[in-house]
């Protein structure tokens, strides 16, 4: 099968990938593998060690290297894992969700466990302008009768 090897510089928890092509080569599937975790025997080439990502057209999937390649004489074993996040990125983008946390749609007024509280308080005092004047007030006299 034909394998396209790439170098991907984006972390796997991102929906996007940035590829640099490393090589296009032929390889053979090791027995007992599945399409999600294929192990591929390829001819040894030191340049392949620069790759960390692959595309297998037969499986219509992108893969990342789940482990570094194993080298056996003139052969290398590429141990891959299907990159589900990238393979289904378009469908994921069209999927509904309710966000727990978000950088774009959020409210800063929801309680947030990330906020840490240290002990103690800071106090700010503000007074209103009116001031009672105990030393110059008024006496009120209430009497029966009057006119």
Partner 1 sequence: MSFWTYADRFGILIDNEKVPTEKKLGVAPGNTFYFSMAQKIYENFTITEEGITGDRVSKGQSTVSPMYENIMNQENVYTYPFPSDMSLPDGIDEYRAAGYVVPATGRGTPYIQLLFKTYPDGSGYSTNVPVYKNGNRVEFLGQQMPEAIITTSNLADGSAPSTTLATPVSAIQGIANNYWSRLENADYFQLLEVSTNIPIFDTEAHCKAYLDDESGETDEGIVNPVNPDYEEEYSLDQKFYYIHNSFTHYYHGTTTKYWRNYRFKPGYDSKIRLYRVKPSTSRYYTLVLIVPSGMTRYIAPEGDYNKTSFIEDENTLQTHYCDASFQISRVNPRDEMVVTSPLKTNIPIFGSREDATKYANDELTIEDALNYSDILAFENELPQPEFGDEDAETETGVNGQTYMAGSAVYVLTRSEMIQFFTEIFKIQDPSFINAFKDGNVLFGDNQANAIIGCMYFPFNAADVCSLESSSGSIWVGGWQSQNATGRKVNMNDKVLTVGEFFLSDMFQDVRDYEPYTHLFVQLPYCGTYQLSIQKYINKTVKINYAVDIFTGACTALIYANNILLDSMDGMIGSQRPITGRTAANMLQAITRGSASTIGAAAAGMKGASVLAGAGQAVFEGGESIAALGIGAGTQTTLASGALALSAGAVGVAGAGAGAVAGVDMMYKAKNAYADPPMSTRGQYSGNLAMFSNQKVHFIVAMRHTHRPENELDLFGYPSGRGGLIGSFSGFLRSSCVQLADGFIGSVQERNEILQMIAKGIYI
Q: Measured from the CB atom, is 74 or 95 closer to partner 1?
A: 95
* Min separation Cβ 71 and partner 1, Å: 28
φ/ψ of 93, rounded to 5, equals: -60, -30
Cβ of residue 80: shortest distance to partner 1, in angstroms?
Answer: 13
Of 31 and 147, CB closest to partner 1: 147
Q: Which two tokens stand for residue 97?
A: 């969700």
Task: Please say which residue, 46 or 97, places its beta carbon nearer to partner 1.
Answer: 97
Task: Please give the biggest Cα pair distance in the chain.
Answer: 122
For residue 9, give every residue at least 6 positions away whose Cβ sits within 8 Å of its Cβ, in sequence order, or none. Answer: 18, 20
What Å distances lie between residue 13 and 26, 38, 124, CA to CA?
Answer: 29, 21, 44
The least CB distance from residue 111 to partner 1, in Å, is: 5
């Amino acid at each position: 099968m034909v394998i396209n090897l790439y170098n991907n510089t984006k972390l796997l928890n991102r929906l996007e990938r940035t590829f640099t092509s490393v090589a296009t080569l032929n390889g053979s599937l090791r027995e007992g593998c599945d399409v999600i975790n294929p192990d591929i025997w390829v001819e040894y080439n030191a340049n392949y060690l620069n790759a960390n990502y692959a595309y297998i057209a037969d499986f219509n999937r992108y893969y990342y290297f789940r482990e570094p390649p194993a080298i056996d004489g003139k052969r290398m074993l590429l141990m891959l894992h299907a990159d589900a996040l990238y393979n289904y990125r378009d469908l994921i983008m069209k999927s509904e969700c309710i966000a727990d946390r978000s950088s774009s749609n959020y409210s800063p007024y929801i309680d947030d466990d990330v906020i840490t509280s240290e002990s103690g308080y800071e106090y700010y005092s503000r007074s209103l302008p009116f001031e009672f004047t105990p030393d110059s007030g008024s006496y009120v006299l209430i009497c029966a009768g009057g006119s």
